[in-house]
Structure 1
Amino acid sequence: MPPVEHVAETYAREVTGGARLACQWVRLACERFLRDLKRKDIRFDVAAADRAIAFIESFRHYKGEWAGQRMKLEAWQKFVIGNIFGWKWSASGLRRFKYAHVEVPRKNGKTLLAAGISLYMLCADGEGGAEVYNAATKKDQAMILHKDARVLIEKSKDPDFKAAFSIRKNPPIIEYEAADSYMRPLGRDTEGDTTDGLNPHAIIADETHAWATEGFWNVLNSALGARSQPLFLMITTAGYRLSGVGRQHSLIVQRILRQEDGGEGDDYFGIIYTIDEGDNIEEPLTWAKANPLYGITVNEKKFRSQIALAKANPAINRELKTKWLNLWINQASLWLDSDKWLHCKLEFDKEQLAGKRCYGGLDLAITRDLSALVWVFPPQEGIERWTFLPYFWCPAEDIVTRSKRDKVPYQTWAEKGFIIPTPGEVMDQGYIHRQILEDCGRYDVQAVGYDKTYAASLINPLVEQGVNMMSFSQGIMTISPYAKELERLVIEGTNLNHFGHPVLAWNAGNVVVHMDANGNIKPDKKNSEDRIDGIIAAIMGLGVAIETEYGGSLAGDWGCTVL
């Protein structure tokens, strides 16, 4: 009697045969599986694959409508687990795959899958003294996966299984005492005192789309050499960092699946759930293609709602594409589209701004790098569009350093007058003070918005000299309406003029926005690729102008306060 076909093979045949809807990368991963079944140097160990699947299915859900029920892995999850644990080298019997990259949209069960694999590597893989690390850019993110693994143990109905573990919450660690093994979270923000002496059996890296550089990844990878069959599992959604770790490994997987790697990726499993070029994102079949749990944990009604919101809200549209359809988006066009930004340039004699009503936005550097002032002129007699007139300052020493280190043309901008150098290594705010006073004599300056965190030494003298300074909070609830208004002006393209200032354009191309659960947005300095000071200043100037000119009527009461 012929052996029963394994579920991973069945999945592969259904995908390649067209019985299951799939994107090109899933099809290629399935073709690879079927092609590898014919090889002699590797073999698919059905028992090993089934053992890992059965282990994970022994746990119980603890969230949502399935809470308390035994976990039932879906076909895509069994395909992933089967690949990772089923493939062996024929000669040694050791596992084939050292690396695995699993890229799938949110709400498709990836975190629980990763937690189950973490526990398998901790206590069921036969490895003595196993060290398992739940890794992420920040320890708080790593704790999400670690907590899922901990709760799976705590919710187990098997008292003997639960008794085999010692769980500590401070510091967070799960110990499997029978094999002297342990699992703990590991964040890049704590790598300085936690990565020395690592001897990992498994690294389960969560949301690698947020890993900006390879430093932390390289540190972890270099520690894998002491084990005979370690696993470095990367599980993520798509994101915005096209030069980051997640995107780079996504491209590695694509090369492997296209057989363009020359066989160098033979120890690397990868699968990517997304849509294909030309797919209509408003079609349910497209949603199902990207989401393997569509109709199960991915709610069709919610998807339709997101599609409707995305048509009117660019921020939600970006979220839909990256997190629901798993598309990588170029950070440079993430918020303010570069082409649309360039179109917001009007040939206009700046001398015509003399005597016109305007408002300022001031974003100050703490000690080094850019400080920005943007004058915002609302439409008025002689000015048809909202008009931005920016200034930038930078310590002279930092101009040289950044030009060499980051290949950003600070020196060229300074030579052409787009950046004003201040002597030395720290910002001389006297230059900014003098510029504001000079412009108050040139324009009809109504008010200047500023973030009071770093501005006291500059603001108080300006107030004493009669400049109307307005404290402007950069909290998300305050800044969101103005940021959305700037976004609208850029998209509209016919009611904004920024004179094509190159530093402001560079800032615009760097901006990443953070969006909260209520759809409020805020430019995110921490996660933006580079400086965004000019855009922050422009938003503040725009906000002060809207509040003063229209009483907040464009989008509500936002709480600027007069100093």
Structure 2
Amino acid sequence: MIDFIELLRVPSGEGQGEYIKLRPWQKQFVVDLYAPQHSVSGRRRVRRAILSVARKNGKTALIAAIVLAHLVGPVSEINGEIYSAATDREQAGQVFKFCRQIVEADPELDAAGGGLITVVPSTKTLVCKSNGSFYRALSAEAGTKHGLNPSVWIYDELAQARDQELYEVMNTSQGARKEPLGIVISTQSPDPEHPLSKLVDDALVADDNTVLVHLYCANDDADIMDEAAWRAANPALGDFRSIDDLRALAVQATRMKTLESSFRNLYLNQRVDQSSPLIPRSEWKACQTGDALRPGEKIYLGLDLSAVGDLTALVGVSAEFAEDRIGAWHWKPQEWVHDHAHRDRAPYDVWARADEGWLETPPGRIVDYGFVAKRIAQIRDDYDIVGIAYDRWRIEQLLAEFVRLGVDAYIDGKDNELSGGIRLVPWGQGFRDMAPAVDALEASVINRKFKHNGNPVLGFCFSNAIVVSDPSGNRKLDKTKTRFRIDGAVATCQALGLKYREVEKPAEATSFWAVLDPNQQY
């Protein structure tokens, strides 16, 4: 098995064209998986295997090598069905792409050069006609997988699965096979109740020689700057896993606590609570420069409208790439100021009386959106509004107030563009829209581009803001994780997210995203 894998060639990148060289830890996994045999039947003993390592430790390449070994190598069989499974099409496509590149780099494998394997890109399939076997990449997004009869399946990054449906389909569909094999190669899930966590826990304690688990992770109490902890979770560290890259990520995680839980999960392979504060107080204070928005300049706005008597927030950010100067406006219904000051432990009354006008308190028990619309119209007179990122909640009421005031506004992508009108851009609160917005905020803070004037209402919102992560490391703000208001922080993320979705980086500037993990998986 090892000899076969090491006859395959590196398809791209460093070492392209050279033979694959398995590392000792990879060889050990292969040996422990394929060497043990039943004393009577002589068949492979292991039926289920788990290899759990931190991100960027060559999981995709190892999966591809195992796939090809079962398709045309020493563990192939007649009419075999080999599947790699992933949560989404993109991840599934990465495994197929790697397999395809290996095949096309070797004339003995590629049917186009007289070899054994035919590549069918349209269905992400490799076919070996000589033994009737095929490999196919599957994703959980592509609908039902019932009716399959896999001889071997490999689940890539099971930690990202939202449920165990695809895993169960693969796991229960091998009854007709003499030597069925299922392999999970994944970073750990942060959730102890996730199907992967259950599988790992069971494999570690069960007295079952048909199940194999190799788990590389740091101790729960490990310091994130401890290189020994890095090595415990990253067996490829210092080899094809860059220690400089990991060190840079660790340094960022020490400064931004929102990054620590993600770092521990993705790079120390620990199970950790994926919720954390948005910005440490020390970082917030370091960004207080007194700088403000400048009259007449282009700005982006983020708007978080409130329900009933809660806080409504509007935050602006300068449009120029070089810095992110912040301005903020907040509203609280007058009749709730006293009661909610006690409930939220926030001096709303003091902020409302301040000469700076930190908090506007329109009369009544709910925020009159007419006040918000009027303020936006005034802001338009003072600045050049490029766009407003808004949560869809109650937006129709705000649009009605614009009409009443005679203010032209239109929803981007839905309405016809109005010359001179205010452009409203829908901005969801889920991971898709908020993950890049949170990334933009953190990069801005780390690079000291983020500059605010000490607005206490905005500071209060940031002090309460909690970030949660999904299994892929994407993050968003979660209002359910805190008792107090975070509306200003939400609006800030929306404004920054829209800005960096649209503003191009000057060619001579240092990459804005250089401090961020690009979340690539290999």
User: TM-score band, normalised by the shorter chain?
Assistant: 0.5 to 0.7
SS in 1 for 2:102: helix
Aligned equivalent of 1:463: 402
**Which residue of 52, 55, 80 maps to 1:106?**
55
**Which residue of 50, 69, 73 maps to 2:18?**
69
Q: CA deviation at 1:150?
A: 1.5
Aligned equivalent of 2:151: 201
Question: Which structure 2 segments of 5+ residues have no match?
Answer: 281-300, 316-327, 334-342, 344-364, 380-386, 410-421, 428-432, 504-522
Question: Is the 1:387–1:498 Cα contact (8 Å) retained in structure 2?
Answer: no
1:121 aligns with 2:70: yes
Aligned equivalent of 1:55: 4
Matches within 5 A, 1:130-529: 130-156=80-106, 158=108, 163-192=115-144, 195-254=145-204, 256=205, 261=206, 263=207, 265-331=208-274, 333-334=275-276, 336=278, 361-362=303-304, 374-376=311-313, 435-437=366-368, 440=371, 451=390, 457-466=396-405, 471=424, 474=427, 480-481=439-440, 496-497=459-460, 508=466, 512=470, 523=476
Question: For each residue in 1:274-308, what CA deviation from the matched residue of structure 2 results, as whole angstroms up to 9, or x when unmatched?
Answer: 11244333233332222212221122222332222
- Taking a change above 3 Å as real, the CA distance of residues 89 and 337 of structure 1, as seen in their structure-2 partners, is farther
- Taking a change above 3 Å as real, the CA distance of residues 308 and 457 of structure 1, as seen in their structure-2 partners, is closer
SS in 1 for 2:84: strand
User: For 2:182 and 2:246, how far apart are their aligned partners in 1?
Assistant: 32
Question: Is the 1:483–1:522 Cα contact (8 Å) retained in structure 2?
Answer: no
User: For 2:27 and 2:394, how far apart are their aligned partners in 1?
Assistant: 57
1:91 aligns with 2:40: yes
Question: For each residue in 1:70-109, what CA deviation from the matched residue of structure 2 results, as whole angstroms up to 9, or x when unmatched?
Answer: 1111111111111111111112222111111100112322
User: For 1:127 and 1:513, how far apart are their aligned partners in 2?
Assistant: 35
User: For 1:148 and 1:109, how far apart are their aligned partners in 2?
Assistant: 11
Q: Return the structure number with greater relative CO, CA threshold 8 A, min gap 6.
A: 2
Question: Is the 1:105–1:326 Cα contact (8 Å) retained in structure 2?
Answer: yes
TM-score, normalised relative to structure 1: 0.60
Question: What is the identity, as a one-letter code, of the residue corresponding to 1:270?
Answer: V
Question: Is the 2:191–2:197 Cα contact (8 Å) retained in structure 1?
Answer: yes
TM-score, normalised relative to structure 2: 0.64
Task: Say which structure is richer in helix.
Answer: 1
Aligned length: 403
- Please give the root-mean-square deviation of Cα atoms over the aligned residues, in Å: 4.7
User: For 1:202 and 1:53, how far apart are their aligned partners in 2?
Assistant: 18
Q: CA deviation at 1:129?
A: 0.9
- Taking a change above 3 Å as real, the CA distance of residues 372 and 363 of structure 1, as seen in their structure-2 partners, is farther
User: For 2:471 and 2:397, how far apart are their aligned partners in 1?
Assistant: 28
User: For 1:494 and 1:148, how far apart are their aligned partners in 2?
Assistant: 51
Q: CA deviation at 1:538?
A: 4.4
Question: Is the 1:136–1:186 Cα contact (8 Å) retained in structure 2?
Answer: yes
User: For 1:514 and 1:196, how far apart are their aligned partners in 2?
Assistant: 26
Question: For each residue in 1:180-222, what CA deviation from the matched residue of structure 2 results, as whole angstroms up to 9, or x when unmatched?
Answer: 1111111111133xx1310001111101110121122111211
SS in 2 for 1:303: helix
User: For 1:158 and 1:88, how far apart are their aligned partners in 2?
Assistant: 30
Question: What is the identity, as a one-letter code, of the residue corresponding to 2:19?
Answer: R
Question: What is the identity, as a one-letter code, of the residue corresponding to 2:235?
Answer: P
- Taking a change above 3 Å as real, the CA distance of residues 337 and 118 of structure 1, as seen in their structure-2 partners, is farther
User: For 1:460 and 1:225, how far apart are their aligned partners in 2?
Assistant: 60
SS in 2 for 1:90: coil
Question: Which structure 1 segments of 5+ residues have no match?
Answer: 1-51, 339-358, 365-369, 379-385, 392-415, 417-433, 516-520
Question: Is the 2:11–2:98 Cα contact (8 Å) retained in structure 1?
Answer: no
User: For 2:332 and 2:224, how far apart are their aligned partners in 1?
Assistant: 39
Q: CA deviation at 1:160?
A: 8.0
SS in 2 for 1:65: coil
- Taking a change above 3 Å as real, the CA distance of residues 271 and 372 of structure 1, as seen in their structure-2 partners, is farther
Question: For each residue in 1:312-347, what CA deviation from the matched residue of structure 2 results, as whole angstroms up to 9, or x when unmatched?
Answer: 23344344322222122223x256599xxxxxxxxx
User: For 1:128 and 1:96, how far apart are their aligned partners in 2?
Assistant: 20
SS in 1 for 2:83: strand
- Taking a change above 3 Å as real, the CA distance of residues 336 and 229 of structure 1, as seen in their structure-2 partners, is farther
User: For 1:175 and 1:323, how far apart are their aligned partners in 2?
Assistant: 34
Question: Is the 1:360–1:374 Cα contact (8 Å) retained in structure 2?
Answer: no
User: For 2:264 and 2:462, how far apart are their aligned partners in 1?
Assistant: 32
